Amino acid sequence: MTDYKFVVGSSPHLRTSENTPRLMFYVLQALFLVAVASTILFGVRAMAIIGVSVLAALAAEALWQKGLRQPVTVADGSAAITGLLIAFNMPPLVPLWVPALGSAFAVIVVKQFFGGLGHNFMNPAAAGRAFLVSAWPLAMTSGWLTPFDGATSATPLQVLGGSSGSLPEGWQMLMGWRAGCIGETSALVILIGGLYLIYRQVIDWKIPASFIGTVALFAWVFGGTDGWFTGDVLTHVLSGGLLLGAFFMATDYVTSPVTKRGRLIMGLGCGLLTALIRLWGGYPEGVTYAILLMNVATPLIDRMTIPRPFGTRQTKVTG
């Protein structure tokens, strides 16, 4: 028989040209915008935090995989995303070893311990931040600055929670001219990045929409000081890490549900927990813990919302 050399394989014989590293690249593009905004607002300190955090995440993944003689997957972009998100959750005056440690923890303990990308059950960045807040609460909850002038200041959520200080104007909140973590303040840029990812079909609008919507509703109904329905919705939505978390952390594929209904539940749950923690909890900010709790609930949500196969939920046909 002639020795023809052609390819044999299972169907389908066509594949989309879309691939995971490219999806991650879109996310990195969106996060890059936020990084630029952070640097404009908080200057060299922000740049240093971002640089250290990303380098630590990449190095941690590479060293871990080299040590275990696994293929090094730094190029898939997911470690860089974790590093950026950890950095964005840092107060401007944080010591630089804190984000470095957080990134390493996120990549090694939260992601690689469980088998790497696709196998972790919590969002690495959110879990990394929670670890830092528990271990070094002072470093993570102080050191707030107002952008540009560098004056120390309370964050809007601390003010809403009773700390002394004044709330910034709405437009200041939108542009990011307020005290807060370096990457969470620039609401407008986060919004642009998030919408870009929705446009690119990288993330599903359902999670951020239901997350932010629920927080807004609760803030409006219960968040006021003069009784029900007097809450300051705009301040609640634009402050803290809500936008950053809703667009970039709660939408993490690996740790969020795969069904449409499941994603609505994910957003609702995140919003509900965030509102509970913010309005009645001990912490001024609840986004991280809300996301982590819903991450853990994700397998359950997936099971609850499993689609029933075609032909099993219709009326019975006689014949």
Partner 1 sequence: MDAGTLREGEGRSFVGGMHIPEYKSLTNDVPIRRMAIPDRVIVPLMQHSGAPCEPLVQVGATVQLGQKIGDSEEFISAPVHATLSGTVVAIERRTHPAGEAVECVVIEGKGEQGEFVPVAKNNPDQMSPEELKDAIKEAGLVGMGGAAFPTYVNINTRQPVDTLILNGAECEPFLTCDHRLMVERADELITGADILMRCIGAKKTFIGIESNKLDAIRILSSKTKAREDMEVVPLAVKYPQGYKSYLIKTITGRDVPRGARSAALGCIVRNVGTTFAVYEAVVHGKPFIERIITVSGPEVPNRGNYIVRLGTPADFILREAGVDPNQLAGNKVIFGGPMTGLAQSDLNVPVVKNTTGVLVLPSELVREQVPYTACVRCGVCVERCPNWLYPHQLSILSEYGMYEEMQQWDIWDCIECGVCAYVCPSQRPIVHFVKRAKTVIDNMS
**Residues at the interface with partner 1 (CB under 8 A):** 1-2, 4-20, 22-23, 76, 115-119, 204, 253-254, 256-260, 263, 302, 306-312, 314-317, 319
CB of 1 to partner 1, least distance (A): 8
For partner 1, which is the closer residue by CB, 141 or 261? 261
For partner 1, which is the closer residue by CB, 4 or 280? 4
Can you tell me which residue has the tokens 């006021």?
A: 224
For partner 1, which is the closer residue by CB, 282 or 311? 311
Can you tell me which residue has the tokens 């070094």?
A: 136
CB of 126 to partner 1, least distance (A): 16
CB of 195 to partner 1, least distance (A): 19
For partner 1, which is the closer residue by CB, 68 or 317? 317
CB of 141 to partner 1, least distance (A): 32
CB of 310 to partner 1, least distance (A): 4
Report the C-alpha gap between 92 and 89 in whole angstroms: 9
The greatest distance separating any two alpha carbons of the chain, rounded to the nearest whole angstrom, comes to 88
CB of 287 to partner 1, least distance (A): 21
**Nearest to residue 144, comparing CAs of 125, 118, 165, 117?**
165
For partner 1, which is the closer residue by CB, 116 or 168? 116
For partner 1, which is the closer residue by CB, 43 or 200? 200
CB atoms within 10 A of CB 86: 33
For partner 1, which is the closer residue by CB, 129 or 263? 263
Report yes or no: 98 and 132 within 8 Å, Cβ to Cβ: yes
What is the CA angle 45-180-177, rounded to 5? 85
CB of 218 to partner 1, least distance (A): 27
For partner 1, which is the closer residue by CB, 66 or 119? 119
User: Tokens at residue 3, please?
Assistant: 């020795």
User: Residue 175's Cα: distance from chain center in Å?
Assistant: 20
Can you tell me which residue has the tokens 């075609």?
A: 310
For 297, phi then psi, to 5°, come to: -80, -10
- Report cis status (omega within 30 of 0) of the bond before 99: no
For 309, phi then psi, to 5°, come to: -55, 150
CB of 137 to partner 1, least distance (A): 32
Q: What is the CA radius of gyration of the chain?
A: 21
3-state SS, residue 300: helix
One DSSP character per residue, 253-281 reads STTS-SSHHHHHHHHHHHHHHHHHHHHHS
